[in-house]
Structure 1
Amino acid sequence: MDLRQALRQRVLVADGAMGTLLYGNYGIASAFENLNLTHPDTILRVHQSYISAGADVIQTNTYAANRLKLARYDLEDQVTAINQAAVHLAVKARQTADHPVYILGTIGGLAGDTDQGIQRASQTEIQASLTEQLTALLATNQLDGILLETYYDLPELLAALKLVKQATSLPVIANVSMLAAGVLRDGTSFASAIRQLAAAGADVVGTNCRLGPYYLAESFKHLAVPATIQLAVYPNAGLPGTDAAGDVVYDGEPSYFQSYAERFRQLGLSLIGGCCGTTPLHTAATVRGLSSRDLVSRHVSQHPRTTAPLTPTSSQHPFLTKVITQKTALVELDPPRNFETDKFFRGAARLKAAGVDGITLSDNSLAEVRIANTTVAAQLKLNYGINPIVHLTTRDHNLIGLQSEIMGLHSLGIEDILAVTGDPAKLGDFPGATSVGDVRSVELIKLIKSFNSGIGPTGKSLKQTCDFRVAAAFNPNAPRTTISTKGIERKLSYGCDYLITQPVFDLANVTKLATALAASDLHVPVFVGVMPLVSRRNAEFLHHEVHGIRLPQALRDRMAQAELDGNERAVGIQIAKELIDGICTGFNGVHIVTPFNRYRTVIELVNYVHQKNLTATA
């Protein structure tokens, strides 16, 4: 009988992890899928061990055998060879079985991958990659079905399912992956995902990876979906840990899987397998744990657990409201580099008294170590009544740290963030330090804004909605004749609320930016950067040594003459005022960078910006 008939008649046991055995038992830690070509006997032994353990269903060693992932190892031209070799090895293993065995061609998800190349791939490239792999698998004419597994992104899985259904009539098992029990990371309930996948044509729908038996059983326990939908589960062997060498390990015992096998059957599942950390011992334990292979009719809960949706709030910081109609000044301060903080806070207090519209706090600018800007921000807000705009870099924080920082900022009532990559670590105090870069700055924007729905990135309810306003950085100083707005458009599409530019010293670049925004019909608040020069040496340093900044020769000549005349500060302020004049012809927002903690200079410029409002109304 074929796989569809078998699934309608009895509970089937699927195999477990491939990578766990290859890494743990065989000491192989490379492109596992390439082993189909280089070490076929090893892959064959893994399949045979699962079959000997009692697996009714095995999957091909093709989880990451697509062009985008194989490109990491310069194997992108081996897609067809790797996938077809995998199928032939699974078929060869089945020939030694003493019971019917079904083979699934496995295709893994991409959206959860942290590889920068994959993150930057377009939807067209992702679909082309999937189509190429699927075509290679189907060309063997030896598969019993297709397994789509480890998809954290439901739209990606639905798109993949559509492509597979268009290409073949084979049965399809579609597995989503959850970061928390019962909910996908975008907040979609597991039940809703199951219903959508079944409606889209999946023969069996379920979940795999990330969570162990307990949490996956809880996810199925209150699953309010039609009883006609066939379900699958592939749990991990518990939560991972690390050994003395720092390698990821799982210590979930096979006996634990044995205790859950019958529970999964009683919950109405048709296909029970294993994922990360599982071995043939776990498969054998699952077989032993089933008291029967008879299918159990599910009773849909009449009172499924639900979480009332939170209504996102939407408000604007006063400076974002003001900048629409009035000249508005933000000031950037670098947090102190030591524990003598009195001067810093005195300066901030004076800026507040001068009526500054907001203070932005850099995040270890130039990769130089400073007091954490979140700590300084909290003191400014709580002790001085200043609402800060906190820079948050992808350089210093992995995904865990970023989310923790975001939650911490909300708990402090700080809702304005500038999302930036950050200066490379090699520029600063510790050039050997690692720049993290789990996400790009545009993805950080999207991550921050996701908190406004009251749903965290794992899909869990935060019990509150946030109200983050997110700024994006933009450099109008790049050496080009025109300014492209593609980067701005992308940042806006990810949820950016306003722009803060790097300091400009050439008004021609300001004009180009205004023209480009107008031509693209982009309406977004912009705060154009101004950095007052303090000396000729300061001007030369900025011009020659700071990436992304170039000073016109005329400005450098003026500062050189000012050095001779002994009035560098006055000339630097005058140049800044001239730049503010030019900026204010096309923009209402000015972002003033404080040079060397010289607050008197900055306060003079803040007053100059505000005077323009008085002049306009006179």
Structure 2
Amino acid sequence: MKQYLKEHRLIPDGSMGTYYSLIKNQDRIISEYANITEPEVIKQIHKEYIKSGARLIRTNTFAANRTVLQRNKEEQRELVIAACQIAKKAVEESSTELMISERIWILGDIGPIPENADSNEKDILEEYRLLCDIFLEQGMDGIHFETFSSTNYIEKLAPYIKEKRQDMFLLTSFSVNKNGYSAAGISATRLMDKIAQIDEIDACGFNCGIGSGHMHQILQKVTFPEGKNSYAAPNAGYPEQMQNRMVFMDNARYFADNMKRIAELGIDIIGGCCGTTPEYIADINDMLRSNAYTPLVKQPRSRREMAAPAVKENTFYRLFDSKDKVIAVELDPPYDANIDQVMECAHKLKHSGADIITFADSPMGRSRVDSVLMSIKIAGETQLPVMPHICCRDRNMISMRSTLLGAYIHGIRNMLVVTGDPVPGESRVSTTGVFDYNSVQLMDYIREMNEEHFSDEPIFYGGALNYRRGTVDKVVDRMRRKMEAGAKYFLTQPIYSEEDVMRIRSIKERVDTKILCGIMPLVSYRNALFIKNEISGIHVPDHILNRYNPNMSREEAENVGASIAREIMDMLETVADGYYFMLPFNRVSLMDKIMRKEDMQ
């Protein structure tokens, strides 16, 4: 294919999924099932696209993953093999019936496997490899990674494929929105930069997400990598809901005119995605037949040779090197619009020596004032650094991106990224947890935004360290994954025992990172009893509980809590890079009881 593309432009087929849906008059029907149930229908669709001028077809496997199909591995394998056999049969019959002398290429089609907060990256990569292996076994000419939003899996799969068969043609295409950004928050330009670093990829470009007009606008601004063929396959347009069906406009001639403009940019492989039927492909073929092929001249990626902009220093992170112990204090945003108490607490902390104030994001799934908005308010009035918690429970991808951009323009440069507590059981009927991401995936997303949007003054973010969750090996492994995703520091759950201190010490010896150790002074017997029995992830030993009794005065109980906090801090002295104070009921007066003034300098 690479040799062929030196002198020819290639036209692929259009959308198998939406055309099959049109034929069956059913919206959201999964065409991949038909590889088993209606193989003749799928073969006929392939043949229609070939008759329309397509000389590159893709197997009917875009959504042939176990998450979408709800099938086991063996059933999935059977379905994908069937798709390959159908495509080969369609090419064989078309070549004979239509007396086509040209080569018709077949690519195995792989769409993104759906992910959420519970997804396991290792399992997903294994499934991608299984699909690749089938296409290799079935003698496909190549593989198309279609409608991806990042290169995360592709950069691992491309070498894997080429190692097994060097002449396998690898095409990667990304879906971007009208502004030129993928669902992972990566710009079209940066996606091409990333693909330029993957030597094994033969062709790259964009598909789906946008219509032909917007695709032309984006392609005008993109520089494709040297040595790789270019690809463009926009949607027929933007669908509308009509009687419970998503319907695309019949605009084949308009589409073909725009594809002519795209062709004039020198794009090598030109086709269509959702909504494009054999009629669209025929019109593209007619249009291109009368236009000479001018290969796109790929320019060197000169942007990489430019000096990186100076990065503005993060004042909070700098404290880890400039003082003995960094002090972070968590305040709870209010449940209502009355912020007088939390504002008073923040002002007291400003004069007590706290380095940063952090706000939880509706902990335990109960609504409070938004952590980002609360942080902006506090920072504006106290000029203290702030660190809102950003959890994955309540925001989908669109909302998360908006939140991050809004936080940034208001000066937020520090965040704690957490997966988040689940929605309480009694609320799950009426309230849905989103969890489009887990904390590691969200960190990856913010890292991309730092490189794409905030490179001169990036957001620094930390992660939660659940030090008692599983073996030390598992804890360390998850920390390293977060660090690879850009986490600069970790905040732990409250620590109450010498055993837990030793566990933190063991972790610290194996992971080179900054750790703020959690200190939560319990303020009454009832408070201690509640934390011990009702809050998962926090271990309150009996000997700590036994230092309280129900008859203590508030002052006595607070003194005990402060004393225990001080003892834990002494044990952590050689381990902790700082302390993360969680003050029950926002009792900031406890800080004076715990920290001597000289310790706060």
TM over 0.5: yes
Q: What amino acid sits opposite 2:82 in the alignment?
A: A
Q: What amino acid sits opposite 1:401 in the alignment?
A: S
Pick aligned residue for 2:330 from 298, 307, 332: 332
Shift of 1:559: 1.6
Contact 1:149 1:176 in 2 (8 A): yes
Question: Partners in 1 of 2:302 and 2:180 — Cα distance?
Answer: 11
Question: Partners in 2 of 1:30 and 1:116 — Cα distance?
Answer: 26
Contact 2:508 2:575 in 1 (8 A): no
Pairing 1:586–2:575 present: yes
Question: Partners in 2 of 1:340 and 1:196 — Cα distance?
Answer: 52
Contact 1:324 1:525 in 2 (8 A): no
Contact 1:477 1:504 in 2 (8 A): no
Question: Partners in 2 of 1:407 and 1:500 — Cα distance?
Answer: 24
Contact 2:195 2:225 in 1 (8 A): no
Task: Give the TM-score, by structure 2 length.
Answer: 0.85
Contact 1:451 1:465 in 2 (8 A): no
Question: Partners in 2 of 1:252 and 1:320 — Cα distance?
Answer: 59
Contact 1:56 1:102 in 2 (8 A): yes
Identify the residue that residue 584 of structure 2 maps to in structure 1. Answer: 595
Matches within 5 A, 1:167-206: 167-168=164-165, 172=169, 174-177=171-174, 179=176, 185=186, 200=200, 202=202, 205-206=204-205
Contact 1:157 1:174 in 2 (8 A): no
SS at match of 1:582: helix
Q: What amino acid sits opposite 1:536 in the alignment?
A: Y
- Worse overlay, 531-540 or 281-290: 281-290
Pairing 1:408–2:397 present: no
Identify the residue that residue 459 of structure 1 maps to in structure 2. Answer: none
Question: Partners in 2 of 1:252 and 1:550 — Cα distance?
Answer: 63
Shift of 1:363: 0.7
Q: What amino acid sits opposite 1:257 in the alignment?
A: F
Contact 1:319 1:357 in 2 (8 A): no
Shift of 1:547: 1.0
SS at match of 2:417: strand
Identify the residue that residue 105 of structure 1 maps to in structure 2. Answer: 107
SS at match of 2:547: helix
Shift of 1:221: 4.4
SS at match of 1:559: coil
Shift of 1:539: 1.4
Shift of 1:452: 3.0
- Worse overlay, 465-474 or 268-277: 268-277
Identify the residue that residue 282 of structure 1 maps to in structure 2. Answer: 280
Shift of 1:388: 0.9
Contact 2:67 2:114 in 1 (8 A): no
Contact 1:14 1:57 in 2 (8 A): yes
Pairing 1:38–2:37 present: yes
1:54-84 Cα deviation digits (max 9, x unpaired): 4333222123446xx4686133113442223
Distance 1:351 1:323, change over 3 A: farther
Identify the residue that residue 343 of structure 1 maps to in structure 2. Answer: 341
Identify the residue that residue 378 of structure 1 maps to in structure 2. Answer: 376
Identify the residue that residue 237 of structure 1 maps to in structure 2. Answer: 236
Distance 1:253 1:546, change over 3 A: same
Question: Partners in 1 of 2:302 and 2:239 — Cα distance?
Answer: 30
Contact 1:474 1:501 in 2 (8 A): yes
Distance 1:554 1:116, change over 3 A: closer
Contact 1:243 1:249 in 2 (8 A): yes
Shift of 1:210: 3.0
- Worse overlay, 255-264 or 326-335: 255-264
Distance 1:297 1:343, change over 3 A: closer
Task: Give the TM-score, by structure 1 length.
Answer: 0.83
Identify the residue that residue 149 of structure 1 maps to in structure 2. Answer: 146
Shift of 1:587: 1.9
Contact 2:143 2:170 in 1 (8 A): yes
1:336-390 Cα deviation digits (max 9, x unpaired): 1112211111111111122212111111111111111222111111122121111
Distance 1:526 1:147, change over 3 A: closer
Identify the residue that residue 563 of structure 2 maps to in structure 1. Answer: 574
Question: Partners in 2 of 1:379 and 1:426 — Cα distance?
Answer: 28
1:135-175 Cα deviation digits (max 9, x unpaired): 3422xxxx555444334444754654444444447662513
Identify the residue that residue 485 of structure 2 maps to in structure 1. Answer: 494
Unaligned runs of 5+ residues in structure 1 are 457-461
Q: What amino acid sits opposite 2:266 in the alignment?
A: G
Contact 1:109 1:148 in 2 (8 A): yes
Question: Partners in 1 of 2:28 and 2:189 — Cα distance?
Answer: 34
Question: Partners in 2 of 1:57 and 1:446 — Cα distance?
Answer: 34
1:426-451 Cα deviation digits (max 9, x unpaired): 25866631111111102222322333
Contact 1:483 1:516 in 2 (8 A): no
Question: Partners in 2 of 1:303 and 1:509 — Cα distance?
Answer: 51
Question: Partners in 1 of 2:320 and 2:117 — Cα distance?
Answer: 38
Matches within 5 A, 1:316-327: 316-318=314-316, 320-322=318-320, 325-327=323-325
Shift of 1:133: 2.3
Question: Partners in 2 of 1:323 and 1:571 — Cα distance?
Answer: 32
SS at match of 1:560: coil
Pairing 1:63–2:62 present: yes
Distance 1:310 1:178, change over 3 A: farther
Pick aligned residue for 2:505 from 504, 514, 518: 514
Question: Partners in 2 of 1:129 and 1:88 — Cα distance?
Answer: 17
Unaligned runs of 5+ residues in structure 2 are none
Q: What amino acid sits opposite 2:133 in the alignment?
A: E
Contact 2:180 2:188 in 1 (8 A): no
Pairing 1:216–2:215 present: yes
